């Protein structure tokens, strides 16, 4: 339901974590690498979406995010991060990888997700830490 969809900058709360999508940007049909060792530019028939977000572990123990956030469109299709996404986020920015989230220490991450040209009303799907955790959507305004 649309009432459960958060907006950019709003805190999305789960029992074990809090998420804030700081910004989302349509990066268009091509995206350049941030690495001097990999000059490659990725191209798409669709487009690339770059999302900057923050996660806070509200628990008492360290946690790992096993399932990375996805983008879902108005047709219910789900899209995950591109290959080697760490080369395509801003230089020095972190991707979620196998990071450990310490209790009460917010961490910021970036992701790059490729979506088809016809994908509309994009939402960033975030979730609690457990694999079967609740899922909630943040409207990216893209």
Provide the pLDDT confidence category of residue 22 given band limits of 50, 70 and 90: very high
Specify the pTM. Answer: 0.93
Rounded distance between C-alpha atoms, residue 49 and residue 23, angstroms: 11
For residue range 42-88, list pLDDT tens digits in order: 999 999 999 999 999 999 999 988 788 999 999 999 999 999 999 99
Rounded distance between C-alpha atoms, residue 142 and residue 133, angstroms: 26
How far from 32 is each of 21, 28, 52, 123, CA to CA, in Å?
22, 11, 17, 24
Q: Please compute Rg for the chain using Cα positions.
A: 15
């Amino acid at each position: 339901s649309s009432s459960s969809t958060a907006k950019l900058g709003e805190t999305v709360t789960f029992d074990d974590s809090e998420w804030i999508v700081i910004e989302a940007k349509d990066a268009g049909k091509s995206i350049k690498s941030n690495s001097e060792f990999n000059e490659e530019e990725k191209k798409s028939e669709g487009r690339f979406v770059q999302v900057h977000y923050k996660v806070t572990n509200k628990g008492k123990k360290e946690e790992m995010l096993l399932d990375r956030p996805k983008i879902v469109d108005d047709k219910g299709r789900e899209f995950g991060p591109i290959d080697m996404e760490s080369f395509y986020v801003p230089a020095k920015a972190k991707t979620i990888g196998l990071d450990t989230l310490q209790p009460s220490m917010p961490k910021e991450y970036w992701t790059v997700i490729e979506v088809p040209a016809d994908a509309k009303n994009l939402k960033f799907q975030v979730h609690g830490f457990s694999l079967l955790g609740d899922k909630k959507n943040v409207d990216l305004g893209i």
